[in-house]
Amino acid sequence: MDRLKRLACFGLLSVVLGAGSPVAWARFNPVVCKNAFTEQQEITEGQKVVAQVYQQMPVLPDSDPVARYVRDLGAKLVAHAPGYKWPYNFHVVASEDINAFALPGGTIFVNLGTVQAAETEAQLAGVMAHEISHVVMRHSTCNLTAQQSKSVWYGLGSIASSILLGNGTAGQLGQAVIGGAQGLDFLHMSRDAEKQADLLGVDILYDSGYDPRGMPQFFETIEAKYGAGGAQFLSDHPNPGNRLQYVNAEIATLPRREQPVVTTPEFKRIHAIALKEKALAAKEVQTGAWRGSGLYASGPGAAAGRIAQPAGQAATAPGGAATSSMGRLSRGALGVGNRMVKYQGTRFAINRPSSWKESAAASGAVTLAPVGGASEAGLGYGAIVDLAKLPGNGVTDRASLDAATAALVRQLIQQNAGLEQAGQVKATTVGGRMANVVELRGQSPVVEGSKRLIERDRLLTVARPDGDLSYVVFVCPEPDLQSLKPVFDKMSASFRAQ
């Protein structure tokens, strides 16, 4: 079958050529599913789940050499991925389980154990090409659309918030992406979806210049070592029954390539580094003890340090243990007395001192802080603004707001060692909307002399018109609370949920 006929069978000819992408060799014809999500919705909502992965799993900072290598390898492969141009991103989870998973919208996580288990670059590239194929064919949101018993919006936004706020799913994302939780069942692929990802993955691998036999070799390697169900990758990516046969049959149809890439000196160098890096067992991941180590990133692009709520690259959640520190700011540096200027965020607006800077995350969360108030040590001074999508009808009255606030406080305390509630929840209104305020107390990354200061945090939760929950966490060392209290009061009063 010649090249154009193979493309026509795949049903992507017009898409591929229209996008100006390198032409793929794929020949099989996957059934196009009914999908209730637009591409932009998939990207936007998927980013909220990405933020929760960083909450629940030890993700290596993007500056880590293994993470940089995986990112570069991913870029090489997606250059040959057909269809819609998703904003692909690649990250490495410090888990010993051999696994990888793709989230809606193009973010792909590869476990450190997978890098360690691969024997060649073509094998690792085969795993990543498989995950890229799930993104290309939108298998995750196809799964969500097919869940007739649930509203389609149950899937992404409310899963992210249920991880944050509880509702039976709290703390389970780590298990889900390793395999086993019910909350993210949209990531569990059918055998038919697995076959499609295998076949398209082989074609992406081939088009990228690699020996496509790397994919079946990896399957054989881990099955020989762990048995048919021993490796998590094989559990989360079920064998349709004759995986090696149909993958090898697809490879046999591809034109012979002279000297395809099997491995590279760079893979050998990085593989040696990966073998020396600490990969956590599943139980270690689930206990969350790694959060206080300072070794893992708080979000995409963030350096290792204190673990953050999803509020920008420089920010961190209040109260977490820190392994590095920052100095105390002067009253002048705090911006006290500065004029207040409006910051327009995603679905909210808030005033901030004119000298403060903002750092926005792809999820829509933002960190507002004075210069020097945030560093790799964490957020010492400033505010984190974010929102949570809630299941069902969300916040509809004072009782449901109180319940959501209490759940958020519990989650913050659970995720940040040493953080505690320092006062009762107080009812108020902000911009005509029901709101709650509660004080928290923890350990600050700010050090004065040789002593780490106590941190005082104010959590403001606001009922949104759509039933979701907006929240702001104000952060500062206890000795600076009286100076910053008027600033926090003005910011709180100015907040508008939109």
Does the pLDDT at position 304 exceed 70?
A: no
Q: Which domains does the chain have, with CATH numbers?
A: 3-278 (no CATH), 298-497 (3.40.1000.10)
Percent of the chain past pLDDT 70, that is, above it, reads 74
- Given a cut of 60, whether residue 143 has pLDDT beyond it is yes
**Residue 249 pLDDT grade (very low, low, confident, very high; cuts 50, 70, 90):** confident
Contact 321, 305 (CB under 8 A): no
Residue 317 has pLDDT above 60, yes or no: no
- Greater pLDDT, 272 or 360: 272
- Please give the Cα distance from 451 to 340 (Å, whole number): 32
Q: Quick one: average pLDDT of 275-304? A: 81
pLDDT attached to residue 231: 56
Q: Phi, psi at residue 71, to the nearest 5°?
A: -65, -45
Among 38-42, 100-104, 416-420, the least confident range: 416-420
Q: What is the pLDDT of residues 389-416, one digit of tens each?
A: 777 778 899 999 998 898 888 877 766 6
Q: Which of 337, 299, 219, 277 is nearest to 54 (CA)?
A: 299
Contact yes or no for 373/387 (Cβ under 8 A)? no
Tens-digit pLDDT profile for residues 430-459:
999 999 999 999 888 888 887 888 999 999
Given pLDDT bands bounded at 50, 70 and 90, which one contains residue 157? very low
140 within 8 A of 229, measured Cβ to Cβ: no
Q: What is the pLDDT of residue 156?
A: 36
Q: Higher confidence at residue 164 or residue 421?
A: 421
Q: What is the pLDDT of residue 152?
A: 33
> Which pLDDT does position 187 carry in this prediction?
61
Give me the chain's average pLDDT, please: 77
Distant-in-sequence, close-in-space partners of 61: CB < 8 Å, separation ≥ 6:
67, 296, 297, 302, 303, 304
